[in-house]
Amino acid sequence: MPVRALRPALWLALPVVTVVLLAGLGDPVTETIRYLITWLLSVQLPGLLLWRALTGGRSLPQDLGFGAVLGISWQLAVWAVCTALGVPALQWVVVLAFLLVFLLAPPLRRQLTWPSSPGWWQPVLATLLLLAVLRTAVGVLRTWPLPPVAFHRHQDIWYQLGLIQMLRNDVTPSDPSVLGEPLIYHWFANASMAGQSVMASAEPSHVLMHLWPVTFVLSLVMAGWAAAEALTGKTWAGAVAGALTGVLPGTLQLAARPGLDASPAQVIQGPTGALAALVMLGLVGPTVLILRKQSTPGTWVALILMIGLATGTKPTLLPIMLVGATVVGGFAWIRERKPPWRVIALFGLAGAFFAAAIPTLTGSTGGSRIQVLAALRVQPFYASVTGDRSYPATGGWLLPSIESGTPRLLLFAATLLGYYLLVNSTRLLSLLGTTVSPVRRDPAYWWLAGCVTAGTGITMVFSHTGYSEYHFVRTVTALGVVGTVAVAATLVDGTTRWRPVLVAAIAGFVTAWVIRLFWFDVPEVTTTVARSILALVVPFQLLAVVGVAVVALTRNGSRSLAVLQVIALVVAAGLPKQLAAFSTNLYNAYSDRPVVANTESRVYLTENEQQAMLWLSEHAQTGDVAVSNVFCLPAPYRPGCPDDAFWVSGLSGVQQYLGGWAYAPRNLEATRNTNSFLLQPPPWPDRLQDSLDAVRRPTPALLTRLRDQVGVDWIIADLRAGPVSPALERLAVPAYANSDVRIYRLR
């Protein structure tokens, strides 16, 4: 079949396969179709047109990728205006008016023509998008069944869902679990989902758990392609980068255990971190044009829109941008022998937006601190070898286990640090762009190296109360891989000898596959440093030996070819893990192997609990407030229980008088670097007592005060959380009941 005939078939297959896959996971077909159309018309198409109009565009693949990110900025602006006006449905009018203006205005309509590109790029991109959707469906979405299926879902998913529920109707929401407390959090990803939920008439839980991850991974592939092509000017480099960002992410794991997240960007319970990786790729577009002095005034507008998006997406983005700007600023000043004002402006923009975000949009950072190597706490074997089970962000300036300077523990810390760098080596190879010609003279590669170094390094010197320092390295997950591909692509020319490169790739792949199959298992309970080194470092040493042998046997004397061989070896060595995970998930889905709920998990919720909240979501009015006896997971409240039960507000969309308080800024700050934020008493002890009394020991006076002075409309009584007073049957109006939950309406 000729390529020209293959294009429409592949592009048509993409939405059809997506709808079929999601239907098999329980998503309503019509809802999925509405959502995909909404995303296309409200995000992807406007973003493409804006990018083209502002920057002039370079190629259709770049316009698609950078437009996917810029489109989110546009969509958020439309959502904010229409929601602030109190008419969220007005978003469709604005979107259609925007598209109509582009079609009718001749200067804008002329932007709809593109220079010719290689004929193969469309089938390749469509195939990559299909594979990315397939992997996401069978490997990620299948393990997250939609409510009300009884299941053990991560507690953060309910927190994120609660934010989406609030943002459907409010641009300045309060904390959904604590009435009256302002929401100090990076909620732009949630706002984007809220806007699309309204426009597509889609259930917020369906958008968060299944629909948004699909459009996210589509955008990730396109943005990875666009970033690599923008850096190199080579379409084939974009194709390779797109595959390594969204289909087979470049994390290097050799032995089967200890395990690593095979697809670190696709995390449903953390959409903010996922979007951060995408926004980082989007920033490549305008930043590269500015650094290479190819920008127009419109390029700066696009940059401002993307930095604005970064401001409320994740607190990791702008610090990384600032470090990248600092590094490239130093390079440009030395090379150009004068102040690089374009870089200074870039730094100033990122700094100004970051400063503006700190009071309102940073969020979730209370109690965090600088602590060198704190991130090692969650590395393999750490607790069993060191005996250190201290809470994150507690202790001094150095990780407690190595403060004593014990040689054994220092060696172990060095082992874990080396392991951390080795598993990220696919990304860290992008730093070679500052050392090899001709790219070492390109400021874009110095900026990229600064960003990757910042993301990798800050992770090791910052300690977050919930280990979220790892979001720094996750933010540059895709950017680093793109940079590595770009460095390799710039070393390729008409004289490149491909046989040595192919030999290196085959050697890396085969070595990694053999290690994965035959490397002996080291139990997680190991207590010796030697066995930890054997499990974590020796497999990489074997790969290094193979790499040295391959390069030495080539005897080419060319530094560029040696660098190409190293990159090919490392990238190929990361593929067996990815292919094994993909094929296993595909087989499990094909054989319809059931995903079994862990009823013993502390985050397990019954179908009745979820069904009750879905009923409340349908019957409550905007602005309603509920009081409940649910604060912890598992449900029964007792002092010191994990106070992160966000599922009541998440599933119902009803504001809680007091729910889980784990992520409230006042609670995070109260840790004072000595305790876990999950185990503290609430900063509002009076609310806790009122809530418990309303369910266990209700009185007419208490319920009247809650109704008239607080504004409570509903009482939610979970029988799994504790006793429920029969007096509620006469003091309030029974509204809903099943074997686990009672819901009452205050008179």
Domain extent, residue 78, equals 3-109+119-366+419-490
Inter-residue contact 175 to 181 (CB < 8 Å)? yes
Residue 344 in any domain: the answer is: yes
Last residue of a domain, one of 465, 490, 515: 490
225 lies in some domain: yes
Q: What is the pLDDT of residue 558?
A: 83
How many helices (H) and strands (E) the chain has is answered by 34, 9
Residue 64, exposed/middle/buried by CB under 10 A (0-12, 13-18, 19+)? buried
Share of the chain above pLDDT 90, in %: 71
Domain assignment of residue 377, yes or no = no
* pLDDT at residue 263 is higher than 70: no
Q: Which residues lie closer than 8 Å to 131 by C-beta, 6 or more apart?
A: 247
Angle (nearest 5°) at CA 155 between 149 and 159: 100
Asked which of 5-19, 387-401, 453-467, 599-613 is least confident by mean pLDDT, the reply is 387-401
> What pLDDT is attached to residue 264?
44
Residue 584 has pLDDT above 50, yes or no: yes
Is residue 533 over pLDDT 70? yes
Which residue did the predictor score with more confidence, 742 or 436?
A: 742
List the beta bridge partners of residue 625.
655
Compare 214 and 270 and report the one with higher pLDDT.
214
Burial per residue of 401-433, b for 16 or more beta-carbon CB atoms within 10 angstroms, e otherwise:
bbeeeeeebeebbebbeebbebbbbbbbbbbbb
Read off the pTM: 0.94
Categorize the per-residue pLDDT at 669 as very low, low, confident or very high, splitting at 50, 70 and 90: confident
- The answer, yes or no, to whether residue 1 has pLDDT greater than 70, is no
Instruction: Tell me whether residue 496 is in a domain.
Output: no
Give me the mean pLDDT over the 338-354 stretch: 95
Which class for 743: exposed (0-12), middle (13-18), buried (19 or more C-beta within 10 A)? buried
For 462, the 3-state DSSP assignment is strand
- For residue 260, the model assigns a pLDDT of 56
Q: What is the pLDDT of residue 394?
A: 79
Q: How far is CA 54 from the centre of its chain?
A: 27
Q: What is the pLDDT of residue 266?
A: 55
List Cα–Cα distances, 648 to 43, 79, 347, 396, in angstroms.
30, 25, 42, 37
Strand, coil or helix: what is 409?
helix
| pLDDT tens per residue, range 84-136 | 999 988 999 999 999 999 888 887 777 677 677 777 899 999 999 999 999 99
Whole-angstrom Cα distance, residue 391 to residue 411? 22
Q: Is 724 among the domain residues?
A: yes
Q: Phi first, then psi: what are they for 250, rounded to 5°?
A: -80, 70
Confidence of residue 234 (pLDDT cuts 50, 70, 90): very high
Same domain, 465 and 610: no
pLDDT at position 269, please? Answer: 53
In a domain, residue 22? The reply is yes
- 626 and 122 Cβ atoms separated by less than 8 Å: no
Q: Over 70: is that where the pLDDT of 742 sits?
A: yes
End position of a domain, from candidates 466, 490, 514: 490
| In a domain? residue 527 | no
Confidence of residue 196 (pLDDT cuts 50, 70, 90): very high
pLDDT tens, residue by residue, 426-473:
999 999 999 988 889 999 999 999 999 999 999 999 888 778 888 899
What pLDDT is recorded for position 71?
Answer: 97
Q: What percent of the chain has pLDDT over 70?
A: 95
Mean pLDDT of the chain: 91
Per-residue pLDDT at 262? 41
Into how many domains does the chain fold?
2
**Among 490, 520, 538, residue at a domain's last position:** 490
411-429 pLDDT tens trace: 999 999 999 999 999 999 9
In a domain, 207, yes or no: yes
What gap in Å lies between CA 423 and CA 465, rounded to an integer? 24
Average pLDDT of 378-383?
A: 87
